[in-house]
Structures are given as structure tokens and as C-alpha cells.
Amino acid sequence: MTSALLFAVGLGLLVPFTLWVRGGDVLDKRLWILFGLLPFLQPALPQLDFAILSWGADWPGVVNGLEVTAFDLLVLAIYVGLTKPRLRSPYSAVLALYLGAVLLSLFQAAEPTAAFFYFWQVCRVALLLVVVARASRDPDVVRHILTGMALGVVLECLTTLFQRFGLGIVQTSGTFAHQNTLGLVLHLAVFPQLALLLAGRRGWTTLVVPLAGIAAVVLTTSRATLLYAVIGLALIYVLSSLRRFTVRKGLGGVGGALILLAFVPLAMASFEKRFATNPLYEHEYDERAAFERAATAILLDNPLGIGANHYVYVAKNFGYSDGAGVAAAEGNRNNLVHNAYLLAASETGWPGLAGLVLLLGYPLIQAFRVGWPRRTGQDGDLLIGLGVGLLMVCLHSTLEYILLLRDSLYLFAVVAGMILGLAHRVEREAPMPERKPTPLPAGRALLAPAE
């Protein structure tokens, strides 16, 4: 009842808020901080989720209902009220391809309504991406969104510290449902600030966020999260040094290495506690391989997929889990394949896999293609930082399916939108190369100007 009341209030405020956005300068102020902060805050505020239709635990998939969040209503209001011209980009075709693949999978689904749940989620995320991309051509918007993301990282650091040392939780998840979700989104939020720090920007965000992010990563006690965090840190430093090496940057690298060493005892203690409380953990990767065998078999038998949001239903009820050797326990059979690409491929077929790869690959390529040649200012460094964060998410997704969850997709949409908008502005502002005057043929004089 409370959720329905809040949803009705949100809809009632949508029109006046949209008019306020269109008629005022609210978008030039701090509202954009919410776009960076809400992906971290929304999971901790379930009362801001409005379920139009919910199947609850009756459907063990990525999405179990038709929902709208307060964030979605805010995005819709901004979209209607945004006066900036559209951003024309080939990425529109990429979004259309992925949405089309998900929509096509509805015709393969045993329960089309469950498949539509995921299609609805992708549509909401796509709208968020479009709004952020259009607005991010304004450097102030990018700065405010990054500030919101920085506040989100600080929130996660404080929350994980309380969970570990106040509640005794070994694998802390912050405001998210799982520690791996927290680890994935931290890639997207921490590396841009580190890139700006190495580029010379000084402020509370660049100084606090890398430290808070590293602490939160260690407290997740997730091996994959820690691995890709270290790889990302090293890659950011190498790329920044190749772009422009200074003595200050060299000293910063030494200082950063010492800071990482200071976190080693905490990391070792965390993993010792984790393995002590889960002695059967060594069998996890056998189970991971079994899930992957099941997903591969599903894809080979169904090139167009089995329907979005249908992996567990099909694998459990049509013999694929049995054939792949997945443990017969209910918890195992109701779990998803720990690979976002295989999950997308098995559910939405080869078209869905191609769409997902392009969905991730286009902004990734844009970040490095536009950011690397840009050596003046800090826009290029920011694009590199955003690109490294997205690259770590792409790699991490070979071991986890969490990229396809709502909370991860929200922050992906924010980061991809910033990359597209920022890259568009950088390319438009890039100075045109000077054209040298064409030399005149020998013996030919210039005409004197008329008096």
C-alpha cells in the first residue's frame, strides 16, 4: 500500500517537475549529483521501488517483476524537460540492436511475461543512458555526476566498514545485495577519479575516492574484484605515464604502491576469515564450469535463445543442469551461470550476444579512441579513466552475471552516457590542423592588393 501511494505521488509530481526543469536553470545546478549518487543509494531504499507487477520468488531470474523506481521517474522528467539537441551517434543503432534481440527472444520464451520483465528493465536503462549522453556535453554536468559517484564510493566505504567491524560480516556488500555487485560498480566509479588525480586535479574527490574505493574493494573479500581492481590501478598508472610522465607522477606511483602494501594485511585477514568459514570453497570453480556447460548447451540447441530471463527455468526443467553436472540442491539449480556473456547468449541467442558485446564495446572504443590523442586539458585523462573502468567491468563479467542486474546497469548507463557525451564534445572542440599555404609556381608573383 505504501509503495503504491508513493508511486501515485511520484506520478502526480512528474508533470510540475518536468515544467520546472524545462522552464528553469535547475539542470545547471546540483540535480545531476543525484545521477551519480542514486545508483549507490537506490538499492538501500527499497521503498522507492514501485512494483507494477511482481512474481517475487516464484520466478528465479534476473528480474522478477515489472517495476519503476524513483530514479526512473526522475530520468523521465529530465528527458522530457531537457532542451539540449539530440546527440546523433551510431550508438543509437547499437541500442536498437540489443533491444531488438531481447524483444525477439519474447517469441522464444515459455513465459513471455517474464521475458518482458527484462525488456522493460533494458528500456529504462536505455532512457537513462540517452539522458546522460545528451547532458554530458556540458562539462559542468560531468563534474556534478562525478561528484555524485564520489559520494557513492564514500557511502560504500563507510557502509562496508560498519558491516565488517560492527556486524562481523566477512564479505561485505555495502548498500547492494551482493559483494560482487559492489565490486563491479566500484570499477566504474574509482578509476575516473584516479585518472584525474594522476592528471593533476586536486580536490576531495580525487584524494578521497581512490582510498575509499580500495578499502571497500578489500572488504568485499572477492578475489575477482580484487584482481581486476589491481589490474585497473596498474593500467591507469601505465597509461597516464605513457601519456605524460612527470617526476610528481613517479613519486605518486611510489606513494600509491606503499598505500597498496598497507592494505595487504587487511586483505590477507579478510580472505583467511572467508576461507575459514567456507571450507568447501575450492569446489566453486567446478560448479562455475558446470553452469557454463549448461549455458553453452542451451545456446547450441537454441541459436535465437530461450527467452530473456529464462536461464534457470530452462536449465532446471529441461535437463540442461542434469546434463552439465550442476549439483542437485535447490540453491544450485536456481542459480545463474556466472558469466554475463553466456547468460545473454543462452537467453537471447547469438543476436543478443552480439548486441551486448557492441553495447559494451562501442563506448569502450570511443573512450580510448578520443581520449588517448587528447593530451591538453583533463578531458582525455577522464575518458581514459572511464574507459579503464568499463574495461575492467567487461573482463569481470566473464566471471559474474551481475552486469545484467538493475543496479549494475544503472551505473553502466551513467558511465557509458558520460563517455558518449564527453567524447562528442572533445571531438567538436578539437582544433582543426593548420593548413600550410600552397607554394606558388616558380617565377609567378603575387598580385598586389588593390588600393
Listed ranges 58-62, 111-115, 221-225; the one with the highest mean pLDDT: 111-115
Largest Cα–Cα distance of the chain, in whole Å? 96
Quote the pLDDT of residue 451: 39
Q: How confident is the model at residue 112 (pLDDT cuts 50, 70, 90)?
A: very high
**Is the per-residue pLDDT at 14 higher than 60?**
no
> Alpha-carbon Rg of the chain, whole angstroms?
24
Mean pLDDT of 130-144: 91
Each residue's pLDDT tens digit, 390-421: 999 999 999 999 999 999 999 999 999 999 99
What is the Cα–Cα distance from 292 to 314, expressed in whole angstroms? 14
Contact 216, 160 (CB under 8 A): yes
**Is the per-residue pLDDT at 359 higher than 90?**
yes
Each residue's pLDDT tens digit, 312-351: 999 999 989 999 888 887 778 889 999 999 999 999 999 9
How far from 322 is each of 7, 294, 328, CA to CA, in Å? 43, 8, 8
Quote the pLDDT of residue 31: 82
Quote the pLDDT of residue 27: 55
Quote the pLDDT of residue 281: 47
The residues facing 49 across adjacent strands are: 69
Orientation angle between helical segments 204-220 and 247-277, nearest 10 degrees: 30
How far from 309 is each of 39, 63, 252, 318, CA to CA, in Å? 22, 7, 46, 15
Mean pLDDT of 205-215: 93
Query: Residue 305 — left, alpha, or beta (φ > 0 → left; ψ -120 to 50 → alpha)?
Result: left
Quote the pLDDT of residue 119: 96
Give which of 121, 9, 6 is closest to 65, Cα–Cα: 121
Higher pLDDT, 348 or 285: 348
Q: What is the value of pTM for the model shown?
A: 0.87
Long-range (24+ apart) CB contacts under 8 A made by 87-95 are: 87/130, 87/133, 87/134, 87/137, 87/420, 87/421, 87/424, 89/133, 89/420, 89/424, 90/362, 91/133, 91/362, 91/363, 91/420, 94/355, 94/358, 94/359, 94/362, 95/126, 95/129, 95/130, 95/359
What is the Cα–Cα distance from 92 to 102, expressed in whole angstroms? 16
H or E element that contains 53: strand 49-54
Q: Where do we find the cell 509503495?
A: 3
What is the Cα–Cα distance from 323 to 321, expressed in whole angstroms? 5
Mean pLDDT of 166-193: 92
**Is the per-residue pLDDT at 215 higher than 70?**
yes
**Is the per-residue pLDDT at 223 higher than 90?**
no
Quote the pLDDT of residue 214: 92
Contact 394, 381 (CB under 8 A): no
Quote the pLDDT of residue 45: 83
Mean pLDDT of 26-50: 80
Quote the pLDDT of residue 83: 67
Give phi and psi for 51, each to the nearest 5. Answer: -90, 110
Give phi and psi for 444, each to the nearest 5. Answer: -110, 125
Q: How confident is the model at residue 446 (pLDDT cuts 50, 70, 90)?
A: very low
Higher pLDDT, 168 or 84: 168
Higher pLDDT, 434 or 49: 49
| Per-domain residue ranges of the chain | 2-426
What is the Cα–Cα distance from 161 to 300, expressed in whole angstroms? 45
Mean pLDDT of 72-86: 79
**Is the per-residue pLDDT at 373 higher than 70?**
yes
Contact 417, 366 (CB under 8 A): no
User: What are the counts of helices (DSSP H) followed by strands (DSSP E) for the chain?
Assistant: 17, 2
Query: Percentage of the chain with pLDDT > 70?
Result: 84
**Is the per-residue pLDDT at 439 higher than 60?**
no
Provide the grid cell at 219: 572488504
Mean pLDDT of 154-159: 96
Give which of 355, 352, 313, 359 is closest to 104, Cα–Cα: 352
Quote the pLDDT of residue 326: 86
Mean pLDDT of 107-121: 94
Chain mean pLDDT for the chain:
84
Higher pLDDT, 246 or 60: 60
Quote the pLDDT of residue 36: 92
Q: How confident is the model at residue 444 (pLDDT cuts 50, 70, 90)?
A: very low
Contact 70, 126 (CB under 8 A): no
Least confident interval from 6-20, 155-169, 222-236, 286-300: 6-20
**Is the per-residue pLDDT at 257 higher than 80?**
no
Q: How many residues does the chain have?
A: 451
